[in-house]
Every structure is written in C-alpha cells, then in structure tokens.
Amino acid sequence: MTAAVERELNSRERILSLAAIISTSFGVGISFGVGFPLTALTFELWGQPSWMIGLAGAAPGLAILLILPIAPRIITRMGPVNAIVSGCVIGALGFLALGLFQSPWAWIAIRLVMSAGFAVPWLAGETWINSVSREETRGRVIAVYAIGFFSGYAIGPVFLQVLGLVGPGPFIAGAVLTIISGLPIVFGRKLAPVFIHDGAHNIITAIRSSPGVMVSGFIGGFSEITILSLIPNVALAAGWTLDAALALVTITTVGGVALQFPLGWLSDKMSRFVLTISSIVIFILLALALPSALQNTFAAVVTAFLIGGVILGFYALGLATIGDRDGEGDLAAVNAAYIIMYQCGSLVGPIFAGIAMTDNPIRGFVTIVIAVMAVAGALLIALEFKDRGRQPS
C-alpha cells in the first residue's frame, strides 16, 4: 500500500491539507470522548454488572482489531476522503441508534459497528498526515495531530456534563459532532493523498518489515491505557481521596497534551530511536519515583504530569518513525499493523497490571510497568542493531 500526494503541494496547500485532517482528528476525538463515558455511565445507571460494563468498554477495541486488517483495502477502493466521511457517517448513525435502542446488548452491538466505522478515519487520517508531512517537520506535525485528537477526547465528557445522560441530548450531540468532524476533509478533498494497493502487503508482512515500530506501538498502548486506567487505584492505595485520585488522571492527560509539541520538536532534531529509548528510561525512573511522590501532593502532580507527556509521546514517536521508514512504501498497511499493536498493548496492559496489583497495588503496579518497559526497551535495541546489521555498509 503506497500513499503519496498526486502532485507536489506547495507550502500553502500542504498546510491546508494538514489542517483539514487534523481538524477532523479533533472532531473524531470528541466523538470518542463522548462515546466511552456515555456507554460506561449509562450501563451504571441501568444497574448492569461490572462484567457487562467491562464488555461494553472492550467492544470498541475488539471492533478496531477486526476491521484494521482489511481497512487499507477499503480506503484504497473508496479513496481517503470517501472512507473518512463514510466512517463519520457510520459513527453518527451509531449515536442515533444508541438513543433509539435502550438495551445493553443492543448498545454493545452498536458500539462494535460504530468503532469499526471510526477505525477507518483513524487509519486514513494518520496515513494522510505521514504522506503530506515533510521529513524535517514530521515530528512536530504529528505532535499537533496528537494534541488535536487528545484535546477533542478530553472535551467529549464536558458535553455529557452539560447535556446529562437522560433524554435525546447526548445522542443528537454525538451524531452532529461526528458529522461535523468529517466536513474539513470534504473541503480539503483536492489536497488528499492517493492510496495505491499493490496486493503484496498485508498486516503480517507489515509487522515483519517493521518489528521495531510494532514494539513501539505496543509500548504506547500498554503504557497509556494502563496508566490512565489504574493510576487512580494506585493513588487510592496511597491514601488519596477519590476526587484527588481522579484529578491525578486529569493532570496526567494535561501533561500528555502539553508535552507533545516539545517531544515532537526533539524528534525532528535527533534520532527518533534514541529519543524512544530515552523516553523508556525516563518512564522507568518516573515509575520508580511514583510511590514516594504520592506522599507529597506537589511531587505527585509533577510526576503525573511528566508521566503523561512520556506515555502519550510513545505513540507519536512510533507514528513519525513509520513515516521515516515507509513514506514511499506500504504506509497504510504498516500504520494499520501499528494501530493493532497499540490496541493489543491497551488490552493486555490493564489486565496484567490489575493481576500484579492484587496483593500490593502500589508495588505490583510499579513492578509490572517497569518489567514490561525494560523488556520492550531491550527488544527495541536488539531489533535496531539487527536492522543496522542487514543494511549495506
């Protein structure tokens, strides 16, 4: 799968093309930010058991894993603009369907379809960005993309606070916001890259061709979802109140958004492999410091802020590396495999961390995080040197 711009864009056109796809990512982020808490809180309101709430939360990840292997072919046949708009329409119809069918099992089925639809704009958007970005500014452009998406994700719950859970308000708002998110792409359709499928590449070949990038994707999913899901539990175990523990999640997210651009700038000035390994080391040091930091509010805030920057930076660094190595190759297929590895990390991370936290939440959490990151870092180093060994001198 090759993604390329049909003609060379001038500077103004390049900026407009990137602005269109980043604006769409912001809107899709809002849709995600509405959909996840809306489902969890509604199931809670309905008195559903914890396992049903967990199943509903896992449905989107499962749908994304199922659709991504064929998503590059779908995007190629439809074109990136039509594929993104179609995904947004499916998501919007899904929000309306949630309002019509007030049944837990119906909601799980609808969330599966919605998430499969959202997976297409996710993949097409990231491939678009890597295709249009210049190498010398790729890290900063992807940082802006990440800021846009996560800012949208953070805004989503605000709509629920304003509209509430009862009545048609949240469903209509979700549908309208999702449709609006596809409009910038329609306006920028003449500046879209062209995807050409040659039939030789798929998810398996993509993983084999870029194993180091795939490890980065797993690291991103594992660290991001594990930290954001379980750091409140760690804070509670350290004696924090519930409100303070939830505030720590917000601080972690704010740190992730605030530090994206500095990390993106750094990735344009130095080796992204070196920066990734350095980030892993910093993350391990921060994890080691977390138990002591939780004994002091200021130290905990600083530590959580920095952890947020590192964990959200892993995904962006890997995405930029895809553009470096596959900008003229099977970009969409590699990006799809990368997202799959991210999803795998996000699924197994909280499970293994939760098991490790059974007897001692703080020590178990820190131990599993450090162990996984150390192994992943060693794998990245080994794969990097293996890859260098294959290159001609």
Question: How far is Cα 121 from Cα 372, in angstroms, rounded to an integer?
Answer: 30
The whole model's pTM is what?
Answer: 0.84
Confidence (pLDDT) at 393: 38
Candidates 282, 307, 31, 316; CA nearest to 147 is 316
Residue 118 identity (one-letter amino acid): F
Region(s) of the chain under CATH 1.20.1250.20:
2-196, 203-390
Number of H helices, E strands in the chain: 16, 2
DSSP 8-state secondary structure symbol assigned to residue 181: H
First to last CA, the chain: 28
Three-state SS for 168? Answer: coil
Tokens of 225: 């979802």
The CATH number of the domain covering residues in 2-196: 1.20.1250.20
Half-sphere exposure of 2 (CA within 13 A, CB side): 8
Distances (CA, A) of 29 to 119, 185, 280: 12, 15, 26
pLDDT tens-place string over residues 293-335: 999 999 999 999 999 999 989 888 988 888 776 544 577 788 8
> Using an 8 Å Cβ cutoff, are 204 and 336 in contact?
no
**Average pLDDT of span 37-48:** 83
Query: Percent of the chain beyond pLDDT 70?
Result: 93
Confidence (pLDDT) at 1: 45
So what's the architecture of 203-390 in CATH? Up-down Bundle (1.20)
Question: How far is Cα 256 from Cα 306, in angstroms, rounded to an integer?
Answer: 8
Question: How far is Cα 117 from Cα 35, in angstroms, rounded to an integer?
Answer: 13
> Using an 8 Å Cβ cutoff, are 143 and 264 in contact?
yes
pLDDT tens-place string over residues 369-383: 888 889 988 988 888
Tokens of 185: 């792409």
pLDDT tens-place string over residues 15-37: 889 999 998 888 888 888 888 77
Confidence (pLDDT) at 112: 92
Bridge partners for 193 per DSSP = 5
